[in-house]
């Protein structure tokens, strides 16, 4: 029995496997959320709770069998799907599911507030997200870390951390941390579309597999390692880009709706004054 999903080099089987470390990790997050939201207003917590637990469910599915072990040591395409779930699906749900009072209590210490303030800066978030994205997809990192449970866990946590830093800029949960305006968030999202095209291009158009781990892994079905790698590149480019542009579109329409609301309120105020 393995604690966390890693590349064990054994032939793939569709027989269920237990990963208690994943269950413990998800369970601790769930219990921590329940404990920290007990003293928060029921209305806000009940409104946000479904988002947080939806994020936990996706995190569990991305970490446990079969996605976890397939991505860790068998298929580069599943590895990339797992990356997208860890960075683009789970973090916004977790952040949106946290009541603002809980976040304020957590950072209500000078040192913690200072650290959060640093990572809340757009340039820092841009650097963290893209350095983690590029670094964790280098062949030396993938081939060197995924075979061990600690290494695989480290990559997963780096993805989750980078995703939280990235989506903090978009969700902007606290006004005291100088959040970006709607136009700023849209620009931040679109700028982050371009750098992932570099590794995605290498994966899609390389003439040979660049990861020894997936090239030498026991086969899963009839999918060749090169085709698997090409699918991984397309998932990175198309999947990530789709989520970013979809989110940017939603922000644009929210920005437009807020502007219309402000104009109507200003018009009413002007009428009353006259």
Q: What share of the chain in percent tops pLDDT 90? A: 73
Report CA-CA distances (Å) from 249 to 169, 183, 232.
Answer: 16, 11, 25
| 98 within a domain of the structure (yes/no) | yes
Q: Sign (positive/negative) of CA torsion 249, 252, 256, 262?
A: positive
pLDDT at 270: 57
pLDDT at 140: 97
Q: Is 156 exposed, middle or buried (0-12, 13-18, 19+ CB in 10 A)?
A: buried
CA distance 171 to 95: 8
| 15 within a domain of the structure (yes/no) | no
| 167 within a domain of the structure (yes/no) | yes
Instruction: Give which of 107, 105, 64 is closest to 82, Cα–Cα.
Output: 64
| 133 within a domain of the structure (yes/no) | yes
Q: Which domain does 145 fall in, by range? A: 20-273
CA distance 95 to 119: 15
Give the helix/strand (H/E) hosting 1.
Answer: none
209-237 pLDDT, tens digit each: 999 999 999 999 889 999 999 999 999 99
pLDDT at 44: 79
| 26 within a domain of the structure (yes/no) | yes
| 242 within a domain of the structure (yes/no) | yes
pLDDT at 221: 86
Positions of the chain with pLDDT under 50: 274
What's the first-to-final CA gap in the chain, in angstroms? 76
Place of tokens 């969700």: 171
| 14 within a domain of the structure (yes/no) | no
Under 8 Å between Cβ of 182 and 107? no
Under 8 Å between Cβ of 220 and 75? yes
| 4 within a domain of the structure (yes/no) | no
Structural domain total, the chain: 1
pTM (two decimals): 0.92
pLDDT at 43: 79
pLDDT at 268: 66
List of residues 6+ apart from 269 with CB closer than 8 A: none
């Amino acid at each position: 029995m393995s604690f966390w999903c890693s590349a064990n080099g054994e032939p793939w089987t569709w027989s269920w496997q237990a990963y208690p470390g994943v269950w413990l990790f998800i369970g601790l997050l769930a219990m921590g959320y329940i404990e920290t939201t007990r003293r928060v207003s029921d209305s806000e917590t009940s409104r946000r709770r479904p988002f947080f637990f939806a994020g936990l469910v996706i995190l569990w599915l991305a970490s446990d069998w079969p996605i976890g072990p397939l991505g860790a040591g068998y298929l580069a395409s599943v590895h990339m799907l797992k990356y997208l779930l860890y960075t683009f699906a789970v973090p916004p749900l977790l952040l949106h599911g946290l009541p603002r009072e809980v976040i304020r209590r957590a950072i209500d210490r000078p040192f913690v507030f200072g650290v959060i303030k640093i990572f809340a800066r757009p340039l820092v978030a841009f650097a963290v997200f893209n350095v983690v994205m590029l670094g964790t997809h280098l062949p030396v990192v993938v081939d060197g870390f995924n075979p061990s449970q600690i290494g695989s866990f480290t990559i997963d946590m780096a993805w989750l951390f980078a995703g939280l830093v990235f989506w903090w800029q978009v969700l902007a949960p606290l006004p005291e941390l100088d959040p970006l305006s709607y136009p700023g968030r849209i620009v931040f999202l679109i700028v982050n579309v371009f750098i992932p095209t570099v590794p995605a291009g290498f994966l899609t158009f390389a003439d040979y597999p660049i990861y020894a781990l997936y090239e030498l892994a026991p086969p899963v079905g009839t999918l060749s390692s090169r085709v698997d790698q090409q699918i991984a590149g397309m998932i990175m480019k198309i999947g990530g880009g789709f989520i970013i542009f979809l989110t940017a579109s939603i922000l644009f329409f929210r920005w437009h709706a807020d502007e219309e609301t402000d104009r109507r309120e200003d018009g009413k105020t002007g009428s009353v004054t006259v």
